[in-house]
């Protein structure tokens, strides 16, 4: 089976799609112990509504199976999750014209993660496409230590 024949990448900006993404984040992060139970059952932050924020849903045969958010940080739109954390370093680089693709908020459906083993690759493909589109100086992302090997192996991340 060619997996990509079943995959739809959707830039989500409608209320229904965004709510589904925020709920998927919550479910995934709660399962991983990254968030505490919350009545809203959604994970959304201030970075979601920035003009340089692109929220994607990855659908497999019509079912939302994963999501990722991508920021393009440049002099005009310098704010992203990584620039907020590493602002002193990245602000100087943005000021001299460097640009960054900053993927974040990767989340995957727990059941689909076990049955569709290529889901991380299928989802992170969007970061590769963003780099091809925006042609940034660098692609940045903060990852959990236990995932660092994967990012180094696949993206040669440092």
Q: Give the domain ranges of the chain.
A: 3-155
Structure tokens at 36: 């505490």
Examine the pLDDT at 29 and tell me if it is beyond 90: yes
Structure confidence at residue 156 as a pLDDT band (50, 70, 90): low
Highest mean pLDDT among 59-68, 82-91, 107-116, 137-146: 59-68
pLDDT tens digits, one per residue of 70-114: 999 999 999 999 999 998 899 999 999 999 999 999 999 999 988
Domain 3-155: CATH architecture, name and number where available? 3-Layer(aba) Sandwich (3.40)
**Mean pLDDT score across all residues of the chain:** 91
Which of 128, 129, 109, 127 has its CA nearest to residue 119? 109
Number of alpha carbons in the 13 Å side-chain half-sphere of residue 105: 27
Cα separation of 150 and 19, whole Å?
29
Structure confidence at residue 137 as a pLDDT band (50, 70, 90): very high
Residue 97, classed as helix, strand or coil, is coil
Cα separation of 154 and 50, whole Å?
28
Cα separation of 31 and 42, whole Å?
13
Q: Quick one: pLDDT at residue 27?
A: 97
């Amino acid at each position: 089976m060619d997996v990509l024949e079943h995959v739809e990448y959707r830039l989500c900006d409608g209320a229904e799609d965004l709510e589904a993404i925020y709920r998927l984040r919550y479910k995934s992060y709660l399962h991983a112990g990254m968030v505490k139970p919350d009545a809203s059952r959604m994970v959304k932050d201030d970075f979601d509504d920035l003009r340089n924020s692109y929220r994607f849903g990855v659908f497999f045969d019509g079912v939302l199976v994963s999501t990722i958010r991508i920021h393009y940080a440049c002099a005009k739109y310098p704010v992203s999750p990584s620039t907020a954390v590493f602002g002193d370093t990245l602000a100087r680089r943005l000021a001299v014209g460097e640009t960054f693709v900053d993927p974040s908020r990767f989340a995957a459906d727990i059941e689909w993660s076990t049955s569709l083993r290529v889901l991380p690759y299928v989802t992170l493909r969007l970061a590769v496409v963003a780099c091809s589109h925006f042609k940034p100086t660098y692609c940045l992302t903060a990852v959990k230590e236990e995932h660092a090997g994967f990012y180094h192996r696949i993206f040669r991340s440092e």
